[in-house]
Every structure is written in structure tokens, then in C-alpha cells.
């Protein structure tokens, strides 16, 4: 069942809603994408190809100049409340402890916002459960500066999931981390998805990360970005670092790299 659909989407930056490209920057061109409910999908491609722009379109942060974006059958015309987001930098509020950082969306998003006082204990339990899932049990009262970068990213994932969004958008969430921490968080994110099973869209430059985590990987061409290759990842779960050395895993990574190279030449 198609949950998210992009149909012939163009996005022109700096156009102020103009329909014609003119001298503006065409970021995304004729983008078509179908995402199933509960799917884990990755988007890869060269820098500046419009990967992050696709996330903004799905979240309703920008509107297409042409084509349509629909979620659950409804056209996206405004920022969606059912979306969780995590970025390269954890952006935790430095004056709040980890528990209160994780619970922040519950103070903003309805219906949780209206029930903060009644559900305070239940919300604390919800936060503790998520923190436990990412290996942060016992760290809820710590301040962000007391945690490593990898631990802060784990807390950011919890914050993005606390309000049980139907869609989780991840924009290079592990790019600033060292290789060992990054690979450790692949396992954490996989476990979170198996636990929550929301629809996840991951933007990444790391092809091994895309294949490790996703069920489907889409390759975008250089700007103006469009989908030029879609690959299914048929590697059994749960995947481990040992999986990354299997011939089918390695072959898929090489194939994606080949298509990215082709996409730079279009």
C-alpha cells in the first residue's frame, strides 16, 4: 500500500512560487517516488542533488512548483505534525536534561500537548522506554554536554520518536560521528525501526549505511535531482556488521556507487 507518493515533482529554489524556472535553481526535476506504509527507505546520490529537498517536500516544509506530494492519500499543503526528524547535529537544548529533551515534542504536538499534566508519568515512562532501547538507561538526568556525540544522537532519535510519528525523516544523522560509533548506531536504528515500525526515510552519503538499514535504496542524479535507480535490499534481518562483508551486500554497494557515478554525468 502506497503511503507517501511524489508525482512528477519539480522544485525551484528562489522562485517565490513561480511556475517557470527562468534563472532560478531547479533543485528537483520530475521526481517520482512511492513509499509503502512502514517501509525503511534510503536516498543516496551526489552532494547537492536534492536529497534533503525531498525530505522537506514530504514534511511539507516546502511546496513543489509542479507535481504533487501526498501522504496517506492527502496532498501535503502545510508542515505535517505526524513527522519526526533527526539531523546531522543532535541540537539538544543545553539547559534541559536528556529526559526533558526527549519529551520536548510532547509539549508541542497535539494531542500530547493538551494532556501534559495528566500524562506526565506516562510520558516519563515512554521516554525511559525509548532511552532504554538505545542504550541510554540511567542517563535521563544527565545534561547534553555530559554525553558523547554518539549518545546525543541516540537521544535525538528518541526525541524524534517520542510522539509516535507515522514518518521519521533522517538527514545524515550519523555523518559527524566516527566510524565505530556510526556503525554501532546502525544497529540501534535498525532495532528502533523493528520496535516501532514507522515509515523511515534516510538521506545518507554512506552507501554501506543505506544497504545495512534500508529495504529500498533510491539513487538520485546530480542537480536537478531525479530518481535514476531503485534497488531492493533482500538481505535478511536483523543485519549485523558481518552482513556488510557478504557478497550480495558488497555487490549492491558497488552497483549503487556505479549508478551514482552515472548520475553525475547526466
Strand partners, 75: 70
Tens of pLDDT along 235-256?
999 999 999 999 999 999 999 9
As assigned by CATH, the class of the 36-62+74-82+167-266 domain is alpha beta
Tens of pLDDT along 206-233?
999 999 999 999 999 998 899 999 999 9
Residue ranges with strand state E in 116-189: 167-171
**Per-residue pLDDT band at 89 (split at 50, 70, 90):** confident
Query: Could you give the percent of the chain with pLDDT greater than 90?
Result: 81
Residues 128 and 135: beta-carbon distance below 8 Å: no
| CA neighbours closer than 13 Å in the CB half-sphere of residue 198 | 22
- CATH 3.40.50.300 domain span(s) along the chain: 36-62+74-82+167-266
Give one DSSP letter per residue of 191-238, joined into a string.
Answer: HHHHHH--EEEEE-S-HHHHHHH-SEEEEEPSSSB-EEEEEE----SS
Residue 22 has pLDDT above 90, yes or no: no
Query: What pTM, to 2 d.p., does this model score?
Result: 0.91
Overall size of the chain counted in residues: 266
- CA 55 – CA 59 distance, rounded (Å): 6
Nearest to 88 by CA among 175, 206, 1: 175
Three-state DSSP state, 197: coil
Residues 124 and 130: beta-carbon distance below 8 Å: no
- Angle of CA points 200, 57, 32, to nearest 5°: 80
- CA 238 – CA 79 distance, rounded (Å): 33
Amino acid at each position: 500500500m502506497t503511503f507517501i507518493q511524489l508525482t512528477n515533482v519539480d522544485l525551484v529554489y528562489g522562485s517565490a512560487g513561480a511556475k517557470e524556472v527562468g534563472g532560478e535553481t531547479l533543485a528537483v526535476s520530475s521526481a517520482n517516488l512511492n513509499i509503502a506504509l512502514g517501509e525503511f527507505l534510503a536516498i543516496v546520490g551526489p552532494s547537492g542533488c536534492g536529497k534533503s529537498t525531498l525530505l522537506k517536500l514530504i514534511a511539507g516544509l516546502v511546496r513543489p512548483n509542479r507535481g504533487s506530494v501526498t501522504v496517506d492519500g492527502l496532498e501535503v499543503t502545510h508542515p505535517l505534525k505526524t513527522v519526526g526528524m533527526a539531523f546531522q547535529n543532535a541540537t539538544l537544548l543545553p539547559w534541559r536534561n536528556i529526559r526533558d529533551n526527549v519529551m520536548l515534542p510532547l509539549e508541542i504536538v497535539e494531542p500530547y500537548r493538551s494532556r501534559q499534566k495528566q500524562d506526565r508519568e506516562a510520558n516519563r515512562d515512554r521516554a525511559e522506554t525509548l532511552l532504554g532501547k538505545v542504550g541510554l538507561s540511567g542517563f535521563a538526568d544527565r545534561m547534553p554536554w555530559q554525553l558523547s556525540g554518539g549518545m546525543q544522537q541516540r537521544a535525538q532519535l528518541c526525541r524524534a520518536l517520542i510522539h509516535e510519528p507515522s514518518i521519521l525523516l533522517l538527514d545524515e544523522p550519523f555523518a559527524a560521528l566516527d566510524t565505530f560509533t556510526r556503525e554501532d548506531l546502525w544497529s540501534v536504528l535498525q532495532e528502533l525501526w523493528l520496535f516501532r515500525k514507522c515509515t523511515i526515510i534516510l538521506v545518507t552519503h554512506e552507501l554501506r549505511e543505506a544497504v545495512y538499514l534500508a529495504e529500498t535504496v533510491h539513487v538520485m542524479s546530480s542537480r536537478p535531482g531525479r530518481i535514476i535507480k531503485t534497488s531492493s535490499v533482500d538481505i535478511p534481518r536483523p543485519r549485523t556488521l558481518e552482513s556488510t562483508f557478504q557478497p550480495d551486500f558488497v555487490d549492491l554497494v558497488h552497483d549503487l556507487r556505479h549508478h551514482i557515478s552515472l548520475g553525475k554525468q547526466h
